[in-house]
Every structure is written in structure tokens, then in C-alpha cells.
Amino acid sequence: MFKRKQISICANDIEPSFVITYTINKDSDTVENLQYWVKEELQHNISFLYIVSKMIMRLKKIPFLNEKRVFQTYQDVFDIGDIYNNYKLSSKHFKMLKLVKQTKPHLGFIEITNQQIDITIKNYIEKGEL
């Protein structure tokens, strides 16, 4: 059984716009299966994607990432004074790791990687839209 935790971040909105999902390794207390999700309508919002990219890059640099560091990074990147008012934490149990990785956190969200963000920004620059 896998317990997937989910941080739904309400960035400049009352509804979640960015979600981080992960599991916790029980032996080492480290974060595993880290995934990032954004609202479909924000997948081309350059300023929003820049902040998401910044968060992804910071989390990738942290060795032995634990849950506390995920929250600290969120607070730093989104420049949040009181983090408790800006996110929703939830968890759900899955029987298979495949389901942990494939199940969307909310309807209308897509998984996003730093590589996809870089490509989107590059395309905007090439079109002269940025």
C-alpha cells in the first residue's frame, strides 16, 4: 500500500493552481515519487511557470529531500508569510505505485516537468511573444 501525499497550492487564487504529489519512504523518511501538476489553463502562463520552475529546480538540488524541506522551499519560492493559509494538504492510499504516478490530483490538472516549462518559454521567446 502506498500513501500519496498532496500539497495543493493556491497561488494567487482561492482554488489550487499548483499541486505537488509525493510518497514518503518509511525507512529513510525521504520524499519519493515527486510530481508537479498545474491547472491546464495555466500551462502557458509564463510568469506562473517561472515560479513553478524555480520551485522544481530548488527541490532537485536538495539531497535526501524530506517533507519539511518541501514546505520550506514552497514558502521561500512563493514568498508566503503564513503558509498555512495558502495550501491544502491531503493524502490518499493506493495499492499500486503505477496508480500513484498516474492519478491526477484534481480534474483539469496536467503533470509538468522543468523540461516542459523550458520548452514553453523557449517557444514564446522564438515567437517574439515574451
The confidence score (pLDDT) of residue 82 equals 52
10 Å Cβ neighbour count for 8?
Answer: 20
pLDDT tens track for 65-116: 988 898 888 888 877 665 445 788 899 999 888 999 899 999 999 999 999 9
Range(s) of the domain holding residue 37 = 2-127
Distance CA 9, CA 20 (A): 8
Q: Which helix (H) or strand (E) holds 8?
A: strand 2-9
The per-residue b/e assignment along 53-67, b for 16 or more CB within 10 angstroms, e otherwise, is: bbbbebbeeeeebee
The 10s digit of each residue's pLDDT in 19-43 is: 999 998 888 888 999 999 999 999 9
Q: Residue 56 pLDDT > 90, yes or no?
A: yes
Domain count within the chain:
1
**DSSP per-residue string spanning 73-119:** HHHHHTT-S-GGGSEEEEEEEESSHHHHHHS-SSTTEEE--HHHHHH
Q: What is the pTM of this model?
A: 0.86
